[in-house]
Chains A and B, each alone.
Chain A
Amino acid sequence: MTSETGFDPKLYDRFPTREPRPEGELEELERIWHAPTGWARLTVVNNNFIGTWYVGAAFLFFILAGVLALVMRTQLALPLQGILPQETYNQFFTMHGTVMMFLFAVPAVEALGVLLLPQMLAARDLPFPRLSAYAFWAYLVGGLSFFCSLFFGLAPDGGWFMYPPLTSIAYSPGINADFWLLGIGFIEISAIAGAIEIVVGVLRTRAPGMTLDKMPIFAWAMLVFAVMIIIGFPSIILGTLLLELERALNWPFFDPTRGGDALLWQHLFWFFGHPEVYIIFLPAAGLVSMMVAALARTPLVGYQLIVLALLATGFISFGVWSHHMFVTGMPTLSVSFFSAASMAVSVPAGIQVFSWIATVAVGKPRNNTPTLFLLGGLVTFVIGGLTGVMVALVPFDWQAHDSYFIVAHLHYVLIGGMVFPLFAAFYYWAPMMSRRALSERLGKWVFWLMFAGMQVAFLPMHLTGLMGMPRRVYTYLPGRDWEVTNMISTIGAYMIGLGVLLFVIDLARNFRFTAGDEAGNVYGGGTLEWLPTGLYSTRSIPVVKSREPLWDDPKLSDDVEAGRYFLPNSATGHRETLITSPIRAEPEYLQIMPGPSAWPLFAAIFTAGFFLLLTVQAYNPSIASGVLAVLCVLRWLWETDRPVAKAHADVGAGIILPTYATGPRTHGWWAMTVLLVVIGMIFVMAVFSYLYLYGVHPSFWTSPPDAPWLLPIIGGHAAAAGFALLARRLLARERTTLWTPATLVLIAAGFALFAFAIDWWSWRATGLTGATSGQGATVHAFLALQGILTAIVALMALYLAARNARGIVTRPRNNSMDLTVMFIAYTAAQGTLAALLTRLFPGAI
């Protein structure tokens, strides 16, 4: 056998250990992982709690958005109804679509990741528990406030994709659109925080021996999902930022009369928006793959092909964004390329569907609720996939575009591909967190009502659409033959509503949260989440030898529970988990994890406050809230990154691992790298915007500041990066008293500030402002991005100086230091690239 890290795989043979475990280990684990009670429960960070709350919150938003849908369907049941006036209807469909996509679908799957992944990977928790808590609270507080805008008539009304010019200040003068832009921008921060957690969690906290080929499919799906968020979401973050800047400061990114372009928004939106559909679908598909194997009681057919399909979807889905723009008059050749990719992307979905069918055919499925939801979802999703291939054909799309055919298509895909699998998952995994399983009898009612309701509601919509009814209309005239199908659709919608109501009743009757005496493995799954657990997750962390360890080793549960594997105790007296290598999951070091804290909660509340107050234009309170949020984050970080008393610890069977690690193999380094990819993608999309606007409106371009200005700018950035790197080198030298490394980092921050100031000032000197033209707007967008990065650099440098003053910057290497240096180097690189691009292109070329 080969090794990835130098760890000798033969050591695995020491497990399960034979010697009896000392008394009191379990009690200690319980004490360390104990969750606070009473009001302090809100400060809990254990993934069992946060995950369950997270799923619950997402489900709440599903119900809220569902209620909006029912009201809309009531309005459309008959022609010329007066339940919802036009303006309110616009707000309703916008909120319904937005809440379903951003506050239900993405968070729901992310929440399941937080809940299930540590269990499936047999980690004690995800690597950054406080980050999960922050992501959850930010999402809950922000989402609820966003939803409340509806009660004040302030809800956004431009549709879930918010196209300008409709959403520009000229046509949407109120603050409704700002609610969308700031609210969604904010929710994305939460999604990205979750994605970073998931990438690092899946790659670095798997149980020893869980090589890539033994990873549960759900972990693969979540990995691809998180990477897609990291690549895709920056585009919409930039888009919302630009549109908000256009609305607030009159910078014409999307105004063609001044060198902007409305289609730029569509590109930015759909570069995120189409992958978004797969971002929703992939984790659900991962859940299906897990459940279908367990429910059919046979290993998944075509594991490797499914992994390939997940990866392929991740790539190809970024090549299809323009298929939402077939009617915008792109070059014929471009349209054809996008059409080809759109057809190709259905192949991986097909692979998965066939594999599921094969698994069901090979196995022995029983007639139970999760199986029904799986099969129902499959049928529904395939119908949606077929209409999807229809609209991928450009001439057909010209006919169906913006009609009810599209509404039918998108609901088939979303409900079949995500909602039904999610309900299957609720039934399948509820016994993992609940004392009682959900009711099979009620469950079958829930399924049949929802499934039949789905077909009754949405099948006729295809016809309504082909008969010409446009989407997003609040009513229609009688005598167009649309009455019958609309009435049927409304009846179907109420059937779905009834099914969901029954489900809520089932939950209320049977779901009793617990982390200790759960109902257990009702459906006989073979993966690690079905090991017996407490708040500390599993008692010991098993060595994984196959894809379904519980099926292959019937004694595994007992051995794990008796502490015969890794970490049978708390090795250091703190919360901790094993960090393992990304490909072969070889143990590398022991990560010390932070416990409960109120700071992530406060940070989330103030972050939400910052965005909401900004929306209602209360600028000073908003800034105050923002500052408080930053302080809370710093406070929460303050306690982290500190070595513990024991530098090395026995993690079981005499295997000794370090308890503090630095450098490129640490989880912190990985998280920072992922964060920099996010920031880098925002930058790439800004570059795209710049080139795009030049491409469509070159006549608005004026000459940039003289080239010699580049010298001090690039010099400043180089000095910033250089001083930061030097500081990191010097840290390793003992006793550098005169120029402490922290001082060097402060100097580096000073240079970053200098370079930014010169950059900004030299542009101002040319008289070009953000409001002048598309060029002015994008140049100033680059400056704004650089300004934000520079401010963060300053903050990080000060934070590091404070840590240094307190003597908690470890030598010879320190993680806080490393991450600050990485960030400064990145900032310098981005600043240099932006300066070169805006000053040399197109002029010098």
Chain B
Amino acid sequence: MRAWLLLLGGLIVWAVHFFGLYIVASVFLTTDTARMLALLVTLACLIADAMLLAAAMRANRAADDGTRRWIASLAALGAAISLVAVIWQGLPALLV
């Protein structure tokens, strides 16, 4: 379970972020409240991603065999890409 959570962590954060934004925009429509909340959700998810990235890199260094290293580096890639994707996904709150 832990291995899967690490592996999919970044993508799960992305999903939480996306559905968070969806709920915010559906409930508060295009308002300043919605924008503020969207930024807060984005910030929280970015922190989560950064922590995941650090954890994955630690796991990668600590790995004692190929499979574990592979999983850790995939997790790190996932967290990194999630970091960028969360910023991208949150941008409309500032721009639109």
Contact = CB atoms under 8 A, between A and B. Distances in A.
A349 to B, nearest CB: 14
Given A213-B67, A331-B26, A336-B96, A583 B3 contact: yes
A598 interface: no
A213 B25 contact: no
A415 interface: no
B9 to A, nearest CB: 11
A740 to B, nearest CB: 35
A340 B89 contact: yes
Interface string B13-37: 0110011011001110110001100
Contacts of B39: none
B93 interface: yes
Interface string A296-309: 00000000110110
Given A334-B26, A337-B89, A341-B89, A2 B65 contact: yes
Interface in B32-67: 34-35, 38, 64-67
A493 to B, nearest CB: 39
Contact of B74 (A2, A307, A315): A307
Contact of A337 (B12, B25, B27, B67): B25
Interface string A337-358: 1011100100000000000000
A333 B18 contact: no
Nearest to B3: A583
B67 A211 contact: yes
B27 to A, nearest CB: 8
Given A304-B74, A331-B30, A2 B68 contact: yes
Contact of A213 (B11, B21, B66, B77): B66
Contacts of A305: 77
A270 B86 CA distance: 23
B75 to A, nearest CB: 10
Contacts of B67: 211-213, 583-584
B21 A2 contact: no
Contacts of A319: 15, 18-19, 22
Contact of B92 (A304, A316, A333, A583): A333
Nearest to A583: B3
Nearest to B14: A315
A318 B14 CA distance: 11
Contacts of A341: 18, 89
B25 A334 contact: yes
B81 A308 contact: yes
A315 B65 contact: no
A311 B89 contact: no
Interface residues of B, number: 38
Contacts of A212: 67, 70-71
A334 B91 contact: no
B77 A333 contact: no
Interface residues of A, number: 29
A315 B67 CA distance: 23
Given A311-B11, A312-B11, A333 B96 contact: yes
A311 B8 contact: yes
A304 B71 CA distance: 9
Contacts of B35: 333
B49 to A, nearest CB: 14
B71 to A, nearest CB: 7
Contacts of A337: 18, 21-22, 25, 89, 92
A170 interface: no
Contacts of A334: 22, 25-26
B55 to A, nearest CB: 17
Contacts of A331: 25-26, 29-30
Contact of A344 (B64, B85, B93, B96): B85
A443 B1 CA distance: 47
Interface in A1-51: 1-2
Contacts of A308: 74, 77-78, 81
A212 B96 CA distance: 42
A1 B69 CA distance: 12
A339 B65 contact: no
A6 B77 CA distance: 29
Contact of B91 (A314, A315, A340, A695): A340
Contacts of B64: 1-2
A296 B66 CA distance: 26
B81 A315 contact: no
Contact of B77 (A304, A314, A344, A695): A304
Interface string A73-99: 000000000000000000000000000
Contact of A333 (B68, B78, B81, B93): B93
Given A319-B15, A331-B26, A583-B3, A336 B65 contact: no
Contacts of B71: 212-213, 583
A713 B78 CA distance: 44
Contact of A312 (B19, B25, B81): B81
25 contacts: A2-B64, A2-B65, A211-B70, A213-B66, A304-B74, A307-B74, A308-B77, A311-B8, A315-B14, A315-B15, A316-B14, A319-B19, A319-B22, A332-B30, A333-B29, A333-B92, A333-B96, A334-B26, A336-B95, A337-B22, A337-B92, A340-B92, A341-B18, A583-B71, A695-B27
Interface of A: 1-2, 211-213, 304-305, 307-308, 311-312, 314-316, 318-319, 331-334, 336-337, 339-341, 344, 583-584, 695
Closest 5 CB pairs of A and B: A336-B92, A213-B70, A334-B25, A211-B67, A333-B25
Given A211-B67, A318-B15, 5 more contacts: A213-B70, A337-B92, A340-B88, A583-B3, A695-B26
Interface of B: 3, 8, 11-12, 14-15, 18-19, 21-22, 25-27, 29-30, 34-35, 38, 64-68, 70-71, 73-74, 77-78, 81, 85, 88-89, 91-93, 95-96
